[in-house]
Amino acid sequence: TCNYEKFKNYMIEKNKLNLLLFSHYEKIFFRKFKLNRYINTQKSESKMIKNFTKKFGEPNDVVFIMGDYDKGSSNIGGLEPAICKKFRKIFKNAGFRTYLVNEFRTSKLCNCCHSEISPFMIRQSHKPNDIKVNKKITINGLLSHQEDKHKCEIIHNRDKNAVQNMLNIVKSIFTIGRRPDIFTRIHT
| DSSP β-bridge partners for residue 138 | 122
Q: Is the pTM of this model over 0.75?
A: no
Per-residue pLDDT tens digits of the chain, which is 188 residues long: 688 999 999 999 999 999 888 888 888 888 899 899 999 999 999 999 999 999 999 999 998 888 876 555 666 666 666 677 888 899 999 999 988 888 888 888 888 888 888 888 888 888 888 778 888 888 888 888 777 666 777 888 888 888 899 999 999 999 999 989 888 888 65
Cβ atoms 67, 101 nearer than 8 A = yes
Give the up-direction half-sphere exposure of residue 115: CA atoms within 13 A in the CB hemisphere.
Answer: 10
Write out the E strands in the chain: 63-67, 97-101, 117-119, 122-124, 136-138, 142-145, 156-157
